[in-house]
């Protein structure tokens, strides 16, 4: 059954995870004010699945069961699914900043592909286990955290070469009924308010590191799991018009001898397929990140335009303001266009699902990763210095300053000063505060650092085809100045300027 946001928040009460925030033990995640903005943001994906205007995007029919499920838990069957998912992610992220739950989708799709592939290569039964799990997750309408990025220790060393092997999650023991895992995943979005974690490998592994190639599902409150998290957004800060309501917590998740039964294990030592699982997840996730950050772009374009207006400037009359806003639009829609292209040119996977095109997904993610800083700059450019200089909301009700401040801080007369202050604080929240830094870093590193995208673009782009093209042109003599292009007399060029010899 599809939950509402209220159902989702309520459902968290059935779990008792071991969570710490800012050094405090959190007894009830659902009631913790420091986590509430994160719960609110995920909640949007639940409520929109019931909303008449949005449910077409936020739900899908799961082919293997015929059931209506959340788009955030659906296995893509065609290009239209990818377009809908992209649009859905943009929609929920422009409302909530980052609605987080699309990570569940990205991981489920990667595990679906990888388990099929592993079974074919090793005669295992991972896909059967996974399908049973997938249908259960869809029926319960859960939210799954992605526990992929390991703590990694010394980056120049392989997992097996680390002085402390727990900087990577790995199999500690293999039992007849399951496996025991241990180690640390360093950055898990929404960790405290997920229902379960999907533990996945974060890199390719060599055969001697087989125990590190592990994928399994673990409830957030499984024995041995500890979550050390940061608050979501800026809860309780009066100036945080947006991030006080919506935000994202990240958690370090430690696994201390956690037992995982066989039916929740989807990879246990198959290194080659583990590498495939990581890159497949990366492609799905980078495609989703494009939608997420386009939603952020929507917020900046809207706020930047309103800011200019409230400053008394009309973009139609002031070319430099219009140019800055057009630059913001161009950046946002150019990486979003890569997401559309990746959906349209998707690849069919032998597992029976589709993958967004790897090159376009990676180029879109690389663009947003690097252009996020320009997006902030453009918002600052059109806004002016008051985004950092506006006195804090406490001053709004100071009888000694309120009236005189209000009189001089008004911009365009028709726009009330309160509205101008709201817009300034909104832009400050998204582009100046610690949340602005958060949006930058998640754009740059979330889904992999830029170098990871560049490698994927270089690995997958048909460079050899381009070389062949030029080789063929050179062989035909197109660029070989001084030689004839055509052997036919009188057909040296389109005009035939060279007269054919008379006596042939």
Ligand X SMILES: Cc1cc2nc3c(=O)[nH]c(=O)nc-3n(C[C@H](O)[C@H](O)[C@H](O)COP(=O)(O)OP(=O)(O)OC[C@H]3O[C@@H](n4cnc5c(N)ncnc54)[C@H](O)[C@@H]3O)c2cc1C
Among the residue ranges 149-157, 295-303, 341-349, 475-483, the one whose residues contact ligand X (CB under 6 A): 149-157
Nearer to ligand X, 103 or 111 (CB): 103
Q: Tokens for 72? A: 């955030």
| 441 touches ligand X (CB under 6 A) | yes
Question: What is the β-pairing status of strands 67-70 and 59-62?
Answer: antiparallel
Among the residue ranges 61-69, 185-193, 361-369, 373-381, the one whose residues contact ligand X (CB under 6 A): 185-193
| 189 touches ligand X (CB under 6 A) | yes
| 366 touches ligand X (CB under 6 A) | no
**Does residue 319 contact residue 120 with C-beta atoms inside 8 Å?**
no
**Does residue 48 contact residue 102 with C-beta atoms inside 8 Å?**
no
| 149 touches ligand X (CB under 6 A) | yes
| 37 touches ligand X (CB under 6 A) | no
Q: What residues does 188 pair with on adjacent strands? A: 251
Q: What residues does 268 pair with on adjacent strands? A: 214
* Burial (Cβ within 10 Å: 0-12, 13-18, ≥19) of residue 451: exposed
Indicate which single residue of 97, 442, 453, 456 sits in contact with ligand X (rule: CB under 6 A): 442
What is the per-residue DSSP string for 2-37?
Answer: ---HHHHHHHGGG---EEEETTEEES-GGG-TTTHH
Nearer to ligand X, 232 or 386 (CB): 232
| 206 touches ligand X (CB under 6 A) | no
- Rounded Cα distance between 96 and 243, Å, is 9
Among the residue ranges 3-11, 413-421, 428-436, 447-455, the one whose residues contact ligand X (CB under 6 A): 447-455
**Does residue 360 contact residue 289 with C-beta atoms inside 8 Å?**
no
Q: How far is the CB of 200 from ligand X (least distance, A)?
A: 7
Residue 150 has what DSSP assignment?
B
| 448 touches ligand X (CB under 6 A) | yes
Among the residue ranges 114-122, 313-321, 402-410, 446-454, the one whose residues contact ligand X (CB under 6 A): 446-454
Indicate which single residue of 18, 152, 419, 491 sits in contact with ligand X (rule: CB under 6 A): 152
| 446 touches ligand X (CB under 6 A) | yes
| 445 touches ligand X (CB under 6 A) | yes
| 146 touches ligand X (CB under 6 A) | yes
Indicate which single residue of 29, 69, 144, 187 sits in contact with ligand X (rule: CB under 6 A): 187
User: ∠ at Cα 254 (16, 365), nearest 5°?
Assistant: 105
Name which of 303, 307, 282 is nearest 365 in CA terms. Answer: 282
List contacts with ligand X (CB under 6 A): 103, 146-149, 152, 155-156, 187-189, 250, 441-442, 445-449, 451
């Amino acid at each position: 059954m599809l939950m509402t946001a209220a159902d989702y928040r309520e459902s968290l009460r059935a779990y008792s995870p071991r969570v710490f925030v800012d050094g405090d033990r959190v007894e009830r995640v659902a009631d913790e004010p420091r986590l509430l903005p994160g719960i609110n943001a995920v909640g949007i994906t639940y409520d929109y699945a019931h909303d008449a205007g949005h449910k077409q995007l936020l739900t899908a029919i799961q082919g293997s069961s015929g059931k209506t499920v959340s788009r955030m838990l659906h296995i893509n069957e065609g290009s239209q699914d990818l377009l809908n998912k992209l649009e859905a992610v943009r929609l929920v992220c422009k409302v909530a900043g980052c609605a987080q739950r699309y990570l569940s989708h990205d991981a489920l799709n990667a595990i679906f592909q990888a388990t099929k592939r592993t079974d074919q290569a090793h005669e295992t039964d991972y896909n059967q286990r996974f399908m049973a799990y997938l249908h259960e997750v869809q029926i319960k309408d859960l939210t799954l955290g992605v526990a992929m990025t390991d703590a990694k220790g010394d980056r120049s060393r392989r997992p097996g070469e680390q002085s402390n092997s727990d900087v990577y999650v790995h199999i500690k023991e293999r039992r007849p009924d399951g496996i025991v895992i241990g180690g640390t995943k360093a950055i898990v979005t929404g960790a405290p308010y997920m229902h379960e974690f999907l533990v996945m490998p974060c890199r390719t592994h060599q055969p001697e590191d087989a125990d590190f190639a592990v994928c399994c599902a673990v409830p957030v409150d499984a024995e041995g799991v500890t979550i050390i998290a940061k608050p979501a957004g800026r809860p309780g800060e009066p100036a945080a018009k947006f991030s006080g309501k919506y935000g994202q917590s990240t958690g370090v998740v430690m696994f201390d001898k956690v037992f995982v039964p066989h039916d929740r294990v989807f990879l246990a030592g198959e290194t080659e397929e583990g590498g495939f699982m990581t890159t497949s997840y990366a492609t799905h996730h980078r495609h989703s990140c494009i939608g997420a950050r386009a939603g952020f772009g929507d917020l900046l374009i809207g706020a930047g335009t309103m800011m200019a207006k409230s400053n008394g400037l009309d973009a139609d009359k002031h070319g430099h303001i219009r140019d800055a806003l057009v630059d913001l639009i161009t950046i946002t829609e150019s990486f979003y266009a890569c997401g559309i292209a990746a959906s349209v040119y998707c690849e069919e996977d032998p597992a029976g699902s589709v993958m967004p095109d790897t090159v376009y997904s990676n180029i879109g993610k690389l663009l947003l990763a690097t252009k996020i800083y320009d997006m902030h700059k453009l918002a600052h450019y059109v806004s002016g210095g008051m985004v950092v200089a506006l006195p804090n909301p406490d001053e709004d009700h100071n009888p000694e300053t309120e009236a005189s401040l209000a009189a001089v801080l008004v911009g365009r007369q028709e726009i009330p000063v309160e509205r101008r202050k709201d817009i300034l604080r909104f832009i400050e929240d998204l582009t100046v505060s610690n949340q602005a830094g958060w949006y930058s870093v998640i754009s740059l590193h979330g889904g992999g650092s830029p170098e990871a995208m560049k490698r994927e673009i270089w690995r997958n782009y048909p460079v050899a085809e381009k070389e062949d093209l030029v080789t063929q042109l050179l062989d035909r003599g197109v660029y070989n100045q001084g030689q004839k292009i055509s052997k036919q007399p009188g057909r040296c060029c389109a005009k035939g300027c060279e007269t054919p010899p008379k006596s042939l």
